[in-house]
Amino acid sequence: MSGRTENFTYNDAITRKFVMATIFWAAVATLIGLWLALMLVRPELSFGLPQLTFGRLRPLHTNAAIFAFAGNAIFAAVYYSSQRLLKARVFSDGLADIHFWGWQAIIVAAALTLPFGISQSKEYAELEWPIDIAIAVVWVLFAVNFFGTIAKRRERHLYVAIWFYIATIVTVAILHIFNNLVLPSGLLKSYPIYAGVQDAFMQWWYGHNAVAFFLTTPFLGLMYYFLPKAANRPVFSYKLSILHFWSIVFIYIWAGPHHLHYTALPEWASTLGMLFSVMLWMPSWGGMINGLLTLRGAWNKVAEDPVLKFFVVGITFYGMATFEGPMLSIKSVNALSHYTDWTIAHVHSGALGWNGFMAFGMLYWLAPRVFQTKKLYSTKLAEVHFWIGSLGILFYIVAIYAAGVTQGLMWRAFDETGRLAYPDFIETVVRIIPMYWVRVIGGSMYVLGILLGAYNIVMTWAARPSKYEEPVQSAPALAPYQGEEPRLIIPFHSTLSPAGHRLRYFAQAAWHRAWERRPLKFTVWVTIAVVVASLFEIIPTFLIRSNVPTIATVTPYTPLELYGRDIYIEEGCYNCHSQMIRPIRAETERYGEYSKPGEFVYDRPFQWGSRRIGPDLARVGGKYPHLWHVRHMEQPTSTSPASIMPPYAWLLEDDIEFGVIQSRVDTMAMLGVPYGEALKSAEEMARAQAQEIAAEIEKQGGRAGLEGKKIVALTAYLQRLGTDLKKKPKVEPAPSEQAPVKTASAGGDK
pLDDT at 488: 46
pLDDT at 747: 40
Rounded alpha-carbon distances, angstroms, from residue 680 to 290, 658, 708: 64, 14, 21
On the question of pLDDT at 580 being above 60, the answer is yes
CA–CA dist 325, 319 (Å, integer): 10
CA–CA dist 508, 638 (Å, integer): 71
- For the chain, the farthest-separated pair of C-alpha atoms sits apart, in whole angstroms, at 111
On the question of pLDDT at 505 being above 90, the answer is no
3-state SS, residue 48? coil
Strands (E), 305-442: none
228: which residues sit within 8 A by CB, 6+ positions away? 234, 235, 294
CA–CA dist 181, 567 (Å, integer): 21
Label residue 494 by pLDDT band (50, 70, 90): low
160, HSE (Cβ side, Cα atoms, 13 Å): 27
On the question of pLDDT at 339 being above 90, the answer is yes
**Least confident window among 122-131, 245-254, 408-417, 559-568:** 245-254
pLDDT at 502: 66
Other CB atoms closer than 10 Å to residue 674's CB: what's the count?
A: 11
* Per-residue pLDDT tens over the stretch 137-147: 999 999 999 99
- Through-space distance between the first and last CA atoms of the chain, rounded to whole angstroms: 102
Rounded alpha-carbon distances, angstroms, from residue 319 to 250, 451, 692: 19, 27, 57
pLDDT at 731: 65
pLDDT at 376: 96
CA–CA dist 589, 425 (Å, integer): 12
On the question of pLDDT at 656 being above 60, the answer is yes
On the question of pLDDT at 498 being above 50, the answer is yes
On the question of pLDDT at 533 being above 90, the answer is no
On the question of pLDDT at 490 being above 70, the answer is no
10-462 topology per CATH: Cytochrome C Oxidase; Chain A (1.20.210)
* In the chain, domain spans: 10-462, 559-726
Mean pLDDT of the chain: 92
* Per-residue pLDDT tens over the stretch 442-481: 999 999 999 999 999 999 999 999 999 999 999 998 877 6
What is the arithmetic mean of pLDDT over 67-93?
Answer: 97
Label residue 516 by pLDDT band (50, 70, 90): confident
Q: Which helix (H) or strand (E) holds 604?
A: none
Top-confidence residue, 199 or 746: 199
The residues with which 7 forms a beta bridge, in sequence order, are 474
CA–CA dist 6, 469 (Å, integer): 19
pLDDT at 116: 96
User: In this structure, what are the phi and psi dihedrals at residue 556, rounded to the nearest 5 degrees?
Assistant: -65, 160
Q: Indicate the class that CATH gives domain 559-726.
A: mainly alpha
What is the arithmetic mean of pLDDT over 394-417?
Answer: 96
CA–CA dist 204, 577 (Å, integer): 18
* Per-residue pLDDT tens over the stretch 200-216: 999 999 999 988 899 99
pLDDT at 235: 92
What is the arithmetic mean of pLDDT over 401-408?
Answer: 97
Label residue 507 by pLDDT band (50, 70, 90): low
DSSP string, 432-499: HHHHHHHHHHHHHHHHHHHHHHHHHHHHHHHT--SS---PPEEEE--PPP-SPPPPSS-STT-SS-HH
